[in-house]
Structure 1
Amino acid sequence: MARQFPPLARRRARAMRQDATDAEAILWSYLRNRCLNGFKFRRQVPIGPYIADFVCHDRRLIVELDGFQHAGDEADLSRDRYLVSLGYRVLRFWNQEVYQSPDAVACHIVEVLEGRA
């Protein structure tokens, strides 16, 4: 059965997919079409009151990209606690990490997906 999200959340997620940051576009090129060792990811997925950047539902993994405006952000900690309470593991990367070393970011994600990290 398909998940039902409030229309506002679906519209906002769709708008966020169409207006991706450069870092999101770079990482999505690694995650889309099962390119990352066959794991399926979706992007800008509504989960409860939040929209997660990238989600692998099979492995209950959420990948978030953050700009420096998120440094020490209590809202991010609260959001992570909520997502963890639903059984997800949350990985956070700085946008700068994706710009400088996208292969390293992708490798770390694979390690987590395969239970090696």
Structure 2
Amino acid sequence: MELKGWSGAKRAARKSRKEMSPAEIRLWLELRKEPGGHYFRREHPAGPYRLDFYCAKAKLCIEIDGEAHGYGDRPARDAKRDAWLATQNVRTLRIPAREAMKNLDGVLLHILTTIAVKG
């Protein structure tokens, strides 16, 4: 089953591709090289959401979380979103933005290890 986005999510994803954060750009420059032979999409619409990065073959969503994800209602919203993705058989891997900036090699290794461990 292909993971498709609703029209609002498609519009938001299209706009977000032009407004990526520095951490997202840094990771994207590596993910677009298809590490480990895995193809990733950026700002992929999925239902009512948009995913920072998505590997359809591995059914893996990668989210780059800035500091705002730890405050207010964001943790609850993220949990709801992750639960919805789980109902679609998509795993979510959350990576702090500071890790993508400081330890990109470690982040890539973590992504590839997560893909290798299917479950």
TM-score normalised to the size of structure 1?
0.89
**Using a 3 Å threshold, how does the CA distance of structure 1 residues 82 and 112 change in structure 2: closer, same or farther?**
same
Q: For residue 70 of structure 1, what is the aligned residue in structure 2?
A: 69
- Following superposition, the deviation at residue 4 of structure 1 comes to 6.0
Would you say the 8 A contact 2:53–2:61 is kept in 1? yes
Match of 1:99 among 95, 98, 101: 101
Q: Deviations for 1:3-47, whole angstroms, at most 9, x for unmatched residues?
A: 76444322211110111100000000110142x111000010111
> Within 2, Cα distance between the matches of 1:5 and 1:12?
10
Structure 1: which 5+ runs fail to align?
Answer: none
How far, CA to CA, are the matches of 1:115 and 1:4 in structure 2? 24
Structure 1: distance between partners of 2:8 and 2:82: 22
Which whole-Å CA distance do the structure 2 matches of 1:4 and 1:69 have between them?
Answer: 27
Higher relative contact order (CA 8 A, sep 6+): 2
Partner in structure 2 of residue 12 of structure 1:
12
Contact 2:26–2:100 (CA<8 Å) still a contact in 1?
Answer: yes
Does the 8 A contact of 2:60 with 2:93 survive in 1? yes
Q: 2:115 aligns with which of 105, 113, 116?
A: 113
Identify if the C-alpha distance between structure 1 residues 99 and 8 changes in structure 2 by more than 3 Å, giving closer, same or farther.
same
Superposition deviation, residue 106 in structure 1: 0.4
Segment drifting more, 79-88 vs 9-18: 9-18
* Identity among equivalent pairs (%): 34
- Which residue of 2 is the match for residue 27 of structure 1? 27
Report the TM-score, using the length of structure 2 for normalisation.
0.88
Amino acid at match of 1:89: R
CA distance 1:85–1:56, change in 2 (3 Å): same
Would the alpha carbon gap of residues 4 and 49 (structure 1) be closer, same or farther in structure 2, given more than 3 Å must change? closer
Q: Which runs of 5+ in 2 are unaligned?
A: none
RMSD: 2.0
Q: Distance in 1 between matches of 2:3 and 2:80?
A: 23
